[in-house]
Amino acid sequence: MTVEQIAKLLDAQIICGEERADHEIDIAFASDLMSDVLTLKEDNVLLITGLANMQTLRTAEMSDIHCIIFARNKKISEEMKELALENDITVLECRYSVFRTCGILYQAGISPVF
């Protein structure tokens, strides 16, 4: 499923990284605990979180994650947007809860990491 399809499915906005809207996503991981994100070994992971801060983007960078959905209507700062752009991270903002976001994506065929 492409990032653009995911955005439409979740009624989410692509905040940065629109040029990668055709990027395919196969698996997702949801967490607000960044130490759990750091344990991921899989490629091409979509991160779903409600933790909207610089540490989330730095963790994504270290974990080679290139797409993040900030759920629960969380908004990113300009500083976060700049960091995401520097690291080729596509950022989406979604009004749904993390649980609902995961459920919609699971029903649409996105696989969980575990």
| Domains of the chain: total | 1
- Three-state SS string over the chain comes to CEHHHHHHHHCCEEEECHHHCCCECCEEEECCCHHHHCCCCCCCEEEEECCCCHHHHHHHHHCCCCEEEECCCCCCCHHHHHHHHHCCCEEEECCCCHHHHHHHHHHCCCEECC
pLDDT confidence bin for 77, thresholds 50/70/90: very high
pLDDT at 113: 96
Range of the domain at 62: 3-112
pLDDT at 41: 94
pLDDT at 11: 98
Rounded to an integer, the average pLDDT of 54-77 is: 98
Rounded to an integer, the average pLDDT of 27-45 is: 97
Q: Which CATH number do you get for residue 73?
A: 3.40.1390.20
pLDDT confidence bin for 105, thresholds 50/70/90: very high
